[in-house]
């Protein structure tokens, strides 16, 4: 979409935001393929990490990420599902700050399909033992040396399925910032569940 079409149009800006997210999920070269995802720790502190955006369902306002059930983000989300997601697309000149509620699903058809879609190398990450974040006395990938540096077989990665989960984020707000040399534009979109529509407003950038 061209700048002229959405610059002064809230609904087209929202449309462009979803378009950028969708292409971020599908295009590994897009900067929105790897946004920062923040959770809230048990101490009430924000904790961010980069994650690969795997899929976007605009109709459901849902984003999907893959992760290891043993990671600290999963513990955070099980305690408090509030998440914030941040990305910047320099070519599109758009910053997106989303917030919403996340759930972790390690079983079910969507998690199974996500596991099947992952490559053997991708699945291998979930074989780390002990789990991510465990202190180690020496430098380690967490993987058995036998499968480091080689393509694992489906049999070898099978036990990793138990550590794999999807993280589904129900997007509740989208904050849009578009950088334009003529004058930036900032907008906020809040999902109104009762009316089943987005409440939209411009903000001073
Ligand atoms: C480019 C990139 C992509 C990443 N993708 C993921 C991902 O999709 N899922 C994930 O759990 N961690 C991913 N990570 C690792 C996380 O940033 C993080 O280090 C790890 O998951 C541990 O996070 P936690 O202790 O907060 O749970 C990625 C890191 C980078 C640099």
The pLDDT tens digits for 31-89 are 999 999 999 999 999 999 999 999 999 999 999 999 999 999 999 999 999 999 999 99
Instruction: Assign 149 a pLDDT band (cuts: 50, 70, 90).
Output: confident
CB burial of residue 201 (10 Å; 0-12, 13-18, 19+)? exposed
71 lines ligand 1 (CB under 6 A): yes
The structure's pTM equals 0.97
d(CA 99, CA 172): 6
Compute the distance from residue 149 Cα to the ligand 1 centre, in Å. 20
Question: Which residue has a Cα nearest atom 13 of ligand 1?
Answer: 51
Atom of ligand 1 nearest to the CA of 72: 27
Q: Compute the average pLDDT of residues 175-187.
A: 96
Compute the distance from residue 49 Cα to the ligand 1 centre, in Å. 6
Question: Which residue has a Cα nearest atom 25 of ligand 1?
Answer: 72
Specify the pLDDT at position 134. 97
| Average of per-residue pLDDT values in the chain | 97
Instruction: Assign 8 a pLDDT band (cuts: 50, 70, 90).
Output: very high
* Domain at 3-203: CATH architecture: Roll (2.30)
Ligand 1 mutation pick, 49, 64, 166, max ligand atoms within 8 A of CB: 49
Specify the pLDDT at position 157. 96
Specify the pLDDT at position 23. 98
Q: Where are the domains of the chain?
A: 3-203
pLDDT over 80 (residue 29) = yes
The pLDDT tens digits for 183-201 are 999 999 999 999 999 999 9
């Amino acid at each position: 979409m061209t700048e002229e079409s959405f610059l002064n149009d809230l609904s087209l800006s929202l449309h462009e935001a979803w378009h950028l997210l969708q292409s971020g999920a599908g295009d590994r070269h897009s900067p929105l393929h790897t946004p920062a995802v923040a959770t809230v720790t048990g101490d009430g502190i924000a904790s961010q990490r980069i994650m690969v955006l795997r899929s976007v369902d605009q109709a459901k306002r849902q984003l999907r990420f893959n992760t290891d059930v043993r990671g600290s983000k999963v513990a955070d989300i099980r305690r408090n599902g509030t998440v914030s997601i941040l990305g910047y697309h320099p070519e599109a000149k758009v910053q997106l700050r989303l917030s919403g509620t996340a759930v972790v699903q390690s079983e079910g058809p969507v998690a199974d399909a996500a596991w099947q879609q992952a490559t053997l190398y991708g699945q291998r990450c979930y074989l780390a033992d002990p789990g991510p974040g465990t202190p180690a006395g020496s430098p380690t990938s967490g993987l058995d040396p036998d499968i480091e540096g080689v393509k694992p077989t489906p049999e070898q990665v099978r036990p990793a399925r138990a550590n794999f989960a999807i993280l589904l984020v129900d997007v509740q707000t989208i904050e849009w910032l578009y950088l334009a040399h003529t004058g930036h534009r900032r907008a906020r979109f809040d999902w109104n569940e009762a009316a089943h529509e987005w409440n939209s407003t411009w903000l001073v950038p």
